[in-house]
């Protein structure tokens, strides 16, 4: 028999002691006894040099489809980090620029390699593993779907191990095939693991454009086998097996309990789970009501209690991305079948006892079918309870922008997914906001380790046009499940599952999403609801209490939100679709240009009750306003103040002179008709409008040397939107 080192024996005894301490007693639980004996045999048979698991392509692929593994706190542990093209004007939540758009043109740096410029998107000193690559699959305009090449350099090598077209790679059109890389809506997502032992650098060979990269950072000393194409080729059989598992989503096997009954208003259906070390491995819910289904999806609430702790409190519709209606979809851990059966496959372990319940908080009896599958589970020092927490608030105005919190928790756990519901009252884009996720040490530096580029980007697809139901999709880890019609008006539901890109936290986590919209106005409202899926060790605390009033109320309807907006607009004049100039910051200006020196007199209404108030003294002085997130040729118009204190200006768009305008008139008012700035092509995803002061009109009158430019709003008509 091979001799086992004393250090290794001590380690084995510690592992077995943990199992016994956690309640896996050999004499009381024969099934667990067999598990521990097998574990001991496996540990003893391991090579002496391999006392910890080695991170390889194979180990990561196996982890991708191991539902039980994600219910265990990671070992070896890691930090999930993110690199993205977010706008670097965002430096602190306490400083201007925190909500800056134009999130597609920033990178770490540029560098010259063999006389060619490369844009560095991500760089990390290993050990680590790239777990997700996302890219918008048009390049500085919807007409260019070729874009740039991506290069992945590992462990300091002079030549990249991967060098190919970025868009083809993330859309599964290169050597990595679906479902590991696949197209969504105007974007692509790659989930194939790229491990590295010492270093990783990812670059583009043309100007940086919208991208997000998630990667694991392991502690120093973690054993990682660096990705090679030769190793990739040897994984063909395993890749096929994992691919089949991701696409098939086979039902779990185990002990089954089924109920079929009507839950009256105010009543509860509960299922007590087997005692001892077990886990829910799958459950299915179906609402058979033919009437009032939209309200029942919100008012029937899923509640779970494990080991005397309530860990789930979410309306069943929100849990399964079925708000107002049901759309069939299939993802790795949740699905809705054609017959309306909602299926959850997350493993939900417990140590002593558990209960699943359905509470009917509504006014209609709920005709429910529920099926719960359980199996034995070896609870130990790394095991975690499954949580699903829900938030909904009254409608929010879309200005001023703020960070809307999904979850804040203290303790030890892992974020494994989320769902985001938005009721949009008009045709147009509802989700400009970036995700901002703070983990552990991020709180000390007051900056998140995950800073995104837009809501749709976070959920794996891309904007560029206003979405329609044609943009609905579901992939193993991503889903744009419901898109309002027409053009996103109504309910919109996106979701994401995290497996290799799950986010562990050792002490604390805060998950925010910017409440930012294409229409920014104090009289324009959106209705949000949100679910976060996560695991945590016992003792965790969080900020998401049950919301029975919100779940019990009638499901908010489109017409209700529209009526609220109309009422708000009666209190203040606002031009529909206007980009309010007072909400736009100056991108550049001459030193002597001042804001808000004094009021600019007007006669008549000002949209939204305010305007951009600028004062110029020296001919040649200028001020720039930049309208970002633009991808198509568009027609621009503007409304400005006129009067005796107003000056003469040349107006340029992206460096091209459009008009010379004398804003001086005898009577103060607003420009009618609007000033036309013509059709313009975006430059770097933006329209930069420059106002150059030419001097005062002979009839101008001012109490000071300076003369005014008062900009009320811009109107932008996108060619793509016009075609639709």
Residue 658 predicted with pLDDT over 80: yes
Which tokens in the block code for residue 552? 């019990």
Q: For 239-282, how does the pLDDT look when each residue is reduced to its tens digit (9 = 90+)?
A: 999 999 999 999 999 999 999 999 999 999 999 999 999 999 99
Residue 708 confidence (pLDDT) above 80: yes
Q: DSSP characters for 156-198?
A: T-SS-SEEEEHHHHHTT-SSS-TTTEEE-SSEEEE---EEESS
Q: In the prediction, which pLDDT does 666 show? A: 81
- Burial of 173: CB neighbours in 10 Å, binned 0-12, 13-18, 19+: middle
Q: pLDDT band for position 65 (50/70/90)?
A: very high
Q: Taking a C-beta distance cutoff of 8 angstroms, is the pair 445, 94 a contact?
A: no
In which element (H, E) is residue 473 found? strand 473-474
How far is residue 310's CA from residue 389's CA, in Å, rounded to a whole number?
10
Q: In this predicted structure, what is the pLDDT of residue 213? A: 98
Per-residue tokens: 347: 């493993």
Could you give the count of Cα atoms lying within 13 Å of 37 in the half-sphere of its Cβ?
8
CB-hemisphere CA count at 13 Å for 713?
A: 20
> Which superfamily does CATH assign the domain made up of 579-723 to?
Galactose-binding domain-like (2.60.120.260)
| Rounded Cα distance, 541 and 538, in Å | 9
pLDDT tens-digit series, residues 74-129: 999 999 999 999 999 899 998 888 998 889 999 999 999 989 999 999 999 989 99
Interatomic CA distance for residues 139 and 105, integer angstroms? 11
pLDDT band at 19; cut points 50, 70, 90 = very low
pLDDT digits (tens, 9 = 90+) for 394-449: 999 998 899 999 999 999 999 999 999 999 999 999 999 999 999 999 999 999 99
Contact 424, 323 (CB under 8 A): no
In this prediction, residues 587-613 reach a mean pLDDT of 92
Q: One fold for both 79-247 and 254-570?
A: yes
Of 616, 584, 594, nearest to 713 by C-alpha is 584
How far apart, in Å, are the Cα atoms of 299 and each of 193, 287, 295?
40, 12, 6
Instruction: Tell me the fold of 79-247.
Output: Jelly Rolls (2.60.120)
Indicate whether 575 pLDDT > 70: yes
Give burial (CB, 10 Å; 0-12/13-18/19+) of 225: middle
| 32-36, 478-482, 548-552, 685-689: least confident range | 32-36
Every domain of the chain and the residues it spans? 1-51, 79-247, 254-570, 579-723
Max Cα distance, the chain (Å)? 105
Q: Among all chains, which residue has been given the structure tokens 């067999």?
A: 34
Residue 454 to residue 514: CA distance in whole angstroms: 9
| DSSP character string of 510-523 | EEEEEE--SS--TT
Quickly count: other Cβ atoms within 10 Å of residue 518's Cβ.
19
Strands of 293-353 (E only): list them: 300-306, 309-315, 329-330, 334-336, 342-344, 348-350
Identify the CATH assignment for 254-570 out of 2.60.120.1390, 3.40.50.1000, 3.40.50.970, 3.30.1280.10.
Answer: 2.60.120.1390
Neighbours of 275 (CB within 10 A): 10
What pLDDT digit, counting tens, does each position of 296-318 carry? Answer: 999 999 999 999 999 999 999 99
**512 has pLDDT over 60:** yes
Q: 30-45 and 6-21 are packed helices; what angle lies between their axes, rounded to 10 degrees? A: 160
pLDDT in tens, 351-382: 999 999 999 999 999 999 999 999 999 999 99
Q: How far apart are CA 27 and CA 30, in angstroms?
A: 7
Residue 36 has pLDDT above 60, yes or no: no
């Amino acid at each position: 028999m091979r001799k086992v080192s004393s250090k290794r024996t001590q380690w084995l005894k510690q592992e077995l002691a943990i199992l016994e301490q956690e309640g896996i007693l050999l004499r009381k639980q024969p099934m667990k006894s067999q598990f521990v004996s097998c574990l001991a045999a496996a540990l003893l048979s391991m090579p002496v040099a391999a006392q910890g698991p080695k991170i390889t392509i194979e180990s990561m692929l196996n982890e991708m489809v191991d539902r039980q593994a994600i219910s265990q706190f990671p070992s070896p542990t890691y930090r999930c980090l993110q690199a993205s093209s977010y706008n670097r004007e965002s430096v602190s939540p306490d400083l201007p620029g925190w909500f800056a758009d134009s999130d597609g043109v920033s990178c770490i740096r540029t560098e010259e390699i063999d006389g060619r410029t490369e844009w560095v998107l991500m760089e990390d000193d290993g050990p680590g593993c790239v777990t997700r690559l996302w890219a918008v699959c048009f390049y500085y305009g919807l007409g260019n779907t070729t874009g740039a090449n991506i290069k992945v350099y590992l462990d300091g090598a002079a030549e990249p191990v991967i060098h190919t077209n970025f868009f083809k790679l993330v859309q599964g059109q290169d050597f990595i095939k679906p479902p590991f890389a696949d197209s969504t809506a105007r974007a692509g997502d790659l989930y194939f693991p790229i491990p590295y032992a010492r270093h990783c650098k990812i670059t583009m060979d043309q100007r940086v454009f919208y991208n997000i990269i998630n990667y694991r950072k392991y502690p120093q000393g973690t054993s990682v086998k660096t990705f090679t194409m030769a190793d990739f080729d040897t994984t063909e059989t395993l890749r096929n097996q994992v691919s089949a598992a991701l696409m098939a989503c086979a039902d779990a096997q185990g002990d089954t309990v089924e109920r079929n009954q009507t839950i009256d208003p105010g009543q509860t259906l509960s299922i007590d789970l087997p005692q001892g070390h077990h886990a829910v491995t799958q459950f299915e819910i179906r609402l058979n009501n033919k009437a009032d289904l939209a309200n029942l999806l919100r008012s029937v609430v899923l509640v779970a209690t494990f080991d005397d702790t309530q860990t789930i409190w979410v309306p069943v519709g929100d849990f399964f991305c079925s708000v107002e209606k049901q759309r069939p979809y299939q993802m790795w851990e949740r699905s809705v079948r054609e017959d309306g059966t909602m299926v959850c496959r997350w493993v939900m372990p417990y140590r002593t006892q558990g209960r699943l319940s359905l509470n009917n908080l509504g006014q209609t009896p709920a005709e429910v079918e529920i099926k719960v599958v359980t199996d034995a589970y070896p609870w130990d020092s790394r095991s975690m309870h499954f949580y699903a927490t829900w938030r909904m608030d009254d409608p929010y105005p879309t200005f001023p922008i703020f960070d809307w919190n999904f979850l804040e928790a203290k303790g030890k756990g892992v974020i494994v997914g989320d769902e985001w519901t938005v009721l949009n009252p008009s045709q147009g884009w509802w989700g400009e906001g970036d995700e901002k996720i703070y983990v552990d040490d991020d709180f000390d530096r007051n900056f998140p380790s995950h800073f995104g580029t837009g809501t749709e980007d976070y959920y794996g697809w891309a904007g560029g046009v206003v979405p329609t139901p044609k943009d609905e999709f579901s992939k193993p880890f991503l889903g744009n499940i419901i898109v309002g019609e027409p053009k996103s008006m109504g309910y919109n539901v996106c979701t994401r599952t995290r497996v290799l890109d799950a986010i562990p936290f050792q002490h604390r986590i805060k998950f925010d999403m910017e409440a930012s919209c294409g229409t920014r106005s104090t009289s324009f409202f959106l209705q949000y609801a949100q679910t976060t899926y996560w695991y945590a060790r016992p003792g965790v605390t969080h900020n998401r209490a049950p919301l029975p009033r919100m779940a019990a109320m009638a499901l908010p309807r489109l017409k209700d939100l529209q009526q609220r907006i109309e009422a708000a607009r009666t209190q203040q004049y606002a031009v529909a679709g206007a980009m309010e100039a007072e909400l736009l910051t100056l991108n550049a200006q001459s030193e002597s240009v001042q804001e808000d020196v004094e009021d600019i007199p007007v006669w008549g209404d000002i949209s939204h009750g305010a305007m951009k108030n600028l004062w110029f003294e020296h001919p040649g002085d200028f001020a720039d306003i930049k309208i970002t997130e633009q991808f198509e040729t568009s027609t621009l118009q503007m409304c400005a103040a006129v009067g005796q204190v107003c000056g003469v200006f040349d107006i340029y768009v992206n460096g091209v002179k459009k008009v010379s305008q004398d804003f001086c008139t005898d009577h103060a008012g607003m420009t009618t008709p609007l000033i036309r700035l013509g059709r313009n092509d975006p430059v770097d995803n933006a329209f930069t409008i420059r106002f150059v002061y030419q001097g005062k009109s002979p009839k101008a009158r001012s109490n000071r040397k300076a003369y005014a430019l008062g900009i009320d709003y811009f109107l932008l008509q996108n060619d793509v939107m016009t075609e639709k």
